[in-house]
Structure 1
Amino acid sequence: MVTGHRSLNQAESTVQDSLRQTLSRHESQLAALQEASQASSNERTAEDLETTRTRLSAAEAAWSTFHEEIARKYPVSEGQAFPLERVQETLTDQTALIGWLHVEINPKEVSSWGYVIRNEDPVEWVRLDNQSGRTEMSADIEKAREVHDALTIASAWPCRPASVARITGEIRKLWRRWMAPLTQHLVGVEHLVVIPSGPMLGIPIEALVDSDSVHLGDHFTVSYTPSATIHTWLWEQSAQRRAPMVRSALLVGDPPFTDDHLVAMEREAEDQSFVEGVLFASAEPPLQTTVVRSALFGNQEALASLPRLPRTRDEVERVASAIPAATTLLGPEASEQRLFDLAESGALRGFDIIHLATHALVDDALPERSALVLSRVGLPDPHEAIVAGARVHDGLLTAKEIVREWDLDADLVTLSGCQTGLGRKAAGEGHIGLAHAFLQAGARSILVSLWKAEEEATSLLMTRFYENLTGAYRDERDGRRGESMPKAAALREAKRWLRTYIDDEGHQPFQHPSYWSGFVLIGEP
């Protein structure tokens, strides 16, 4: 994760942008040619492959040389941990950084610690294992993993869980083991910044229940960060930026993946009653790992098998109603080409909020390949693009492309899809994937999901969250009326509201934490 920026002059920035575009263009051409050669090999394709490989190698060499020169001219201390005093300068009396450290003594022994960082005084370390029998901790770690699996399975279950008694009992045990020992150092704290690791990685702590049966999210607002250094860097970047008078937003959703999806959209536009039936349809089953892997490697059948997400159209339109200045890209407009054009022109930097509602394909082995799936209807012919020396678009926006091509000044990026917060597990960095890519591209915070996002619950949560964020509401919420809330507070209220939401039949369909706790805020809160 980058912790500093080099201040390039205009000429250097122009060269950097040109090299980035050249690399991306040759990489997309090479991928298209490799796919074509697998389908049918001929002399022309082989020649084009060799030529493109040569051009890509030259571009990579130019990129490497440029960055070596820039590194010598503008040395920075990237990747180094910030001192404690610098971290503490970002904290108020009401904010604390918390996390856990697990040390494997031997295959059967694990020593575990929790820590709390306040705005002054040394770090408070709390030993969590039983020193006379540390082998018990291995069982506690396994229990945490079982709870995570239970939440993940419940979110993907075709029927909503009817009872929350069992999961409540299990998450109370997690609170007792991992959070209760830290509470003595959290007196006066209202906001927790969590550095998840070990067994707590992937478990939203706001879902934990204390001994009084109160969710931790009712005690604190919560946000997450990969490390104390990244938290500090993002806070410093935000402190230097003046909030815009009017929020500008880019909202993207409901991309078609097949021509049949496009036909359905056209039919829905003509028949409103049909639209309502589609939008509230049952959730699709989770994507299988084999489908995700095949899709990431360009398998056309796998990509065509991805189910459409019509509820994301409703979600985007509702969010747009809370942000009058929003730009919306729906249906075929929700395309890689449109986003590439916005990135290339620099227009992406003008959006304060970016909301992307579509499938996420997460590669936990090669996180740079993780991608958001955009419209796959009307894609330009790859051969014609190669002949013209242009970028080849495949409908996938990868983490690598985001890091290389996007230049953001966004206060918030929301990835409203399934498992958008996952990726490769890395010690001290959490999950490396799409979230890290957007942070590196310039976003100061990311709203992502830890498991499958049920469409109706997600649409309700996102609508409420953006109303809270922008002040587009008239009832009283957390002692406010029509007042914009900070991001973490807006998410906290939306989660609590969804948890207690009562439908037309008098039921509370989203009590289970798998529906309301899966979206977490990473970055500046």
Structure 2
Amino acid sequence: TDSFRRQGTGYLQPAQNLYNWLIKPIANELADANIDTLLFSLDGGLRTVPLAALHDGENFLIETYSLSLIPTFSLMNTDYQPIPDAKILAMGASEFEELNPLPAVPVELSTITQQMGTGEVFLNQEFTKQNLIQQRQVTPYQIIHLGTHGNFNEGDASHSYVQLWDDKLDLTEMRQLNWDNPPVELLVLSACRTAIGSKDAELGFAGLAVASGVKTALGSIWQVSDGGTLVLMSEFYTHLGETQIKAEALRQAQLSMLRGDVVIEGGQLRGEGVPDNLMLPPELAETLDKVDLSNPYYWSAFTLIGSPW
């Protein structure tokens, strides 16, 4: 996550060490059994490891497996429900009184609803807790996407938040949103540090959402790039409509960035599945033009929590 170190490949050595400790001892057994998805139930110190970026000396782990974190096996919903035609509720904020603006959010919300083919967008003043509850009562959205600022801090629940337009959604309120009524197949929290937790709130907001009834949550484990998140989410929803498996959709999105299949050039986001002529806001295009999106910083922070299906 260090902007200077991001220029090199210093991450490879620790990524290979972790692979050798965690995966290599069972790699042959996984291959013999034709395993294509790995579910990790991790203790405290390992929950912030970007598992997708573990490296065997030749390839990243994500090049071989789809990945998901699970709080416990007992909390995992294993029922499969295809979601290519699911309705999406996309809400978020790009303007804030005390926080930095997020110019990519309006583009992010409009792009993902366009890719899913059906859904509603509520931006800035319309992004309130009351409206979130009301919209879910009117329409049983299977996918909910929240694009905004967020942060997790240990201690009092009020110190951790997902930023709404006029308020902050803290950990206690996350439990009270009745995510299982109507049931939510996928909750995407594209803010920063939404999958970081503590002993009292395992896997943070994303983990609490799963514990409260969400089948699968997508969250991040560090301060993510606004533009990088736009790219990843655009690719994720493109593949979500094709693969029908959430973990595989995330894997394909990460591979698109790793392999350079999606790029930002001349103020445009270009890649397979990206809407034609998707122009970025000028302030975002200037900082992201020709950024190396293949670096794990941009694609490995986001991880699925709960069911990979």
TM-score bucket (shorter structure): 0.7 to 0.9
Give me the TM-score of the superposition, normalised by structure 1: 0.50
- 1:243 Cα deviation from its structure 2 partner: 4.2
CA distance in 2: counterparts of 1:409 and 1:446, whole angstroms: 13
Partner of 2:24: 180
Other structure's SS at 1:209 match: coil
- RCO higher in 1 or 2 (8 Å CA, sep ≥ 6)? 2
Assess if the C-alpha contact under 8 Å between 2:36 and 2:65 holds in 1.
yes
CA distance in 1: counterparts of 2:7 and 2:83, whole angstroms: 44
1:370 and 2:142 equivalent? no
CA distance in 2: counterparts of 1:517 and 1:500, whole angstroms: 13
Other structure's SS at 1:509 match: coil
Assess if the C-alpha contact under 8 Å between 1:364 and 1:422 holds in 2.
no
CA distance in 1: counterparts of 2:220 and 2:83, whole angstroms: 27
Aligned length: 280
Partner of 2:197: 423
Equivalent residue in structure 1 for 2:170, among 358, 379, 398? 398
Paired letter, 2:257: L
Partner of 1:504: 265
- 1:246 Cα deviation from its structure 2 partner: 2.9
Note the residue ranges of structure 2 that are not aligned, 5 or more in a row.
267-288
Assess if the C-alpha contact under 8 Å between 1:412 and 1:443 holds in 2.
yes
Paired letter, 1:402: M
Partner of 2:73: 228
Paired letter, 1:225: I
Other structure's SS at 1:425 match: coil
CA distance in 2: counterparts of 1:458 and 1:255, whole angstroms: 14
Paired letter, 1:167: Y
Partner of 2:106: 313
The correspondence of residues 72-471 of structure 1 with structure 2, limited to 5 A, is 153-154=1-2, 157=3, 161-164=6-9, 166-186=10-30, 187=32, 188-211=34-57, 213-231=58-76, 234-235=77-78, 238-239=79-80, 243=82, 246-258=85-97, 305-342=98-135, 346-347=137-138, 350-367=140-157, 370-376=160-166, 395-406=167-178, 407-425=181-199, 430-431=202-203, 433-470=204-241
In structure 2, the CA distance between the partners of 1:499 and 1:244, relative to structure 1 (3 Å rule), is closer
In structure 2, the CA distance between the partners of 1:169 and 1:351, relative to structure 1 (3 Å rule), is same
In structure 2, the CA distance between the partners of 1:458 and 1:438, relative to structure 1 (3 Å rule), is same
In structure 2, the CA distance between the partners of 1:201 and 1:507, relative to structure 1 (3 Å rule), is same
CA distance in 1: counterparts of 2:75 and 2:237, whole angstroms: 25
Deviation >4 Å, runs of 4+ = 242-245, 505-508
CA distance in 1: counterparts of 2:174 and 2:51, whole angstroms: 29
Paired letter, 2:69: Y
Identical-residue share of aligned pairs (%): 25
1:417-455 per-position Cα deviation (integer Å, ceiling 9, x unaligned):
1101112136xx843x31133223321000000001101
Give me the TM-score of the superposition, normalised by structure 2: 0.82
Partner of 1:22: none
CA distance in 2: counterparts of 1:317 and 1:175, whole angstroms: 38
- 1:315 Cα deviation from its structure 2 partner: 0.7
Partner of 1:488: 247
Note the residue ranges of structure 1 that are not aligned, 5 or more in a row.
1-152, 259-304, 377-394, 471-482
CA distance in 1: counterparts of 2:130 and 2:105, whole angstroms: 20
Partner of 2:297: 514
Assess if the C-alpha contact under 8 Å between 1:369 and 1:400 holds in 2.
no
In structure 2, the CA distance between the partners of 1:497 and 1:347, relative to structure 1 (3 Å rule), is same
CA distance in 1: counterparts of 2:265 and 2:295, whole angstroms: 18
Cα root mean square deviation, aligned: 2.4
In structure 2, the CA distance between the partners of 1:375 and 1:160, relative to structure 1 (3 Å rule), is farther
In structure 2, the CA distance between the partners of 1:454 and 1:412, relative to structure 1 (3 Å rule), is same
Q: Which has the higher helix share?
A: 1
CA distance in 2: counterparts of 1:402 and 1:223, whole angstroms: 21
Partner of 1:267: none
